[in-house]
């Protein structure tokens, strides 16, 4: 059916949002650094993570130095510290003291203890598309605080993640309510 009366308006930017805010952790010059990344995507059923980073970012030094990174999901109560990580460069501001950090198997991907979800990744590929780079990381291990699980599955409503609209007004939002409840068959 072709309806010529249907009117659409062209818009620019990423329309595949909102997305959860993530804090990417890297080790730069032997010190933890964290930055907000708005364009991140799991693929191959969560075995890999893709993120896009401006080449001139301070954290990019740590990606190339160690070939590792972490993905940390902050909660609403971490908004002010998350905002600092998204607005200040590690070149000018030491973000290592903002959070309690821990390390997993990789030893060079700092993770944030206060974040309920942490994922450590080993870089498998870096794509050059000037002025950015696409970073592909293989998920090595994921960590979740037990109180955010329901029946051994992550319950996003318990986490209260920050949601970021990267293709609209670039503001933070809260996760909404579940609109349908159904059993999932994992066979």
pLDDT band at 2 (very low <50, low <70, confident <90, very high): low
Strand partners of residue 129: 132
pLDDT band at 177 (very low <50, low <70, confident <90, very high): confident
Q: What is the pLDDT of residues 85-140, one digit of tens each?
A: 999 999 999 999 999 999 999 999 999 999 999 999 999 999 999 999 999 999 99
Q: Which fold has domain 19-174?
A: Pnp Oxidase; Chain A (2.30.110)
pLDDT exceeds cutoff 80 at 181: no
Give the Cα separation of 112 and 115 in Å (integer).
Answer: 6
* pLDDT computed for residue 97 by the predictor: 93
Model confidence, pTM = 0.88
* Percent residues over pLDDT 70 in the chain: 90
Q: With beta carbons less than 8 A apart as the criterion, state whether 37 and 72 touch.
A: no
Alpha-carbon distances, residue 61 vs 29, 31, 65, 89, 90 (angstroms): 8, 12, 6, 12, 11
CB atoms within 10 A of CB 122: 17
* pLDDT computed for residue 147 by the predictor: 94
Q: What is the pLDDT of residues 67-77, one digit of tens each?
A: 999 999 999 99
Write down the domain spans for the chain: 19-174
Q: What is the pLDDT of residues 129-146, one digit of tens each?
A: 999 999 999 999 999 999
Q: Going by C-beta distance under 8 Å and a sequence separation of 6 or more, which residues neighbour residue 133?
A: 52, 53, 55, 60, 63, 126, 127
Q: What is the pLDDT of residues 37-84, one digit of tens each?
A: 877 899 999 999 999 999 999 999 999 999 999 999 999 999 999 999
Mean pLDDT, rounded, for 172-184: 71
Mean pLDDT, rounded, for 17-42: 91
């Amino acid at each position: 059916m072709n309806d010529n009366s249907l009117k659409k308006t062209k818009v620019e930017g990423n329309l595949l949002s909102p997305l959860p805010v993530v804090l990417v952790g890297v080790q730069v010059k032997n010190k933890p650094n964290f930055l907000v990344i708005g364009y991140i995507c799991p693929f191959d059923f969560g075995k890999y993570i893709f993120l896009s980073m401006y080449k001139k970012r301070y954290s990019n030094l740590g990606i190339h130095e160690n070939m590792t990174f972490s993905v940390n999901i902050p909660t609403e109560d971490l908004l002010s510290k998350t905002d600092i990580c998204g607005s200040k460069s590690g070149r000018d501001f030491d973000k290592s003291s903002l959070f309690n950090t821990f390390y997993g198997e990789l030893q060079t991907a700092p993770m944030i203890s206060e974040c309920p979800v942490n994922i450590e990744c080993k870089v498998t590929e870096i794509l050059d598309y000037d002025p950015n780079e696409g970073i592909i990381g293989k998920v090595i291990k994921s960590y979740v605080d037990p109180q955010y699980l329901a029946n051994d599955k992550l319950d996003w409503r318990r986490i209260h993640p920050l949601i970021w609209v990267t293709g609209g007004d670039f503001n933070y939002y809260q996760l909404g309510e579940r609109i349908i409840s159904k059993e999932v068959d994992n066979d």
